[in-house]
Chain A
Amino acid sequence: MAHKQLTEEYYKLLHEIQAVDFVLVELNLYLDTHPSDSAIIEQYNAYAVKSKQLKEEYARRYGPLQHGDMADKPYSWPDAPWPWQV
């Protein structure tokens, strides 16, 4: 994996992950108070699959987003940029 370049593609993928994960955050809070809404649970699961796919792609191209993602060599987790730097 090349060093993380803050290219247009990088931001595009990051923003896509942020958008999909936001849906998960929002549906999760809704389901906390509406646990029997099965249509929303299905929507949640569809976005969970999408999120997993996007994060695998991110880890492959730019290194892990979180522990448990596949690691690269050399180990890039401690490398900048951190979220407040992008």
Chain B
Amino acid sequence: MKSERAREMELHARRKQAMAVLARAPAEHVHRLWSEAGFEVEARPLRGPETGLVTLRGRMGGGGAAFNVGEATVTRASVRLESGEIGHAYALGRDAEKVHIAAIVDALWQCTERRDAVEARIVAPLAAALDEADAKHEAETAATRVDFFTMVRGED
């Protein structure tokens, strides 16, 4: 039996993953799946959608001390459903509409009875499309890997 704490951690990890998928997914795909999913929901904005900057950090030498590389535009939104759930969303870029939808999706995801539907109708298809794009990208990159073969010179 899992402890309360372990269950909570697992839930956090799943929610983080769902939010990450929404953040990365192309806006038009999010829009389309959201309107197809047909969730009836009233969401009141608590903050945003608003666009600002996040300073991206790297590490010297790749793994050493942190330093600031530069900024990126980020849009965020927080909403509250009538049923009380509070949803948040953050994503690179300036697409307020996409981030607003993502915040509602995050709030819905927290309603236990709606989580499966949210996963099935929105998060899973977005994740599948992203994975497919990654796999294609990896295969294209792998085709440019150099296969060295050694020329034998002289004897022995």
Query: Is B a genuine binding partner of A?
Result: no
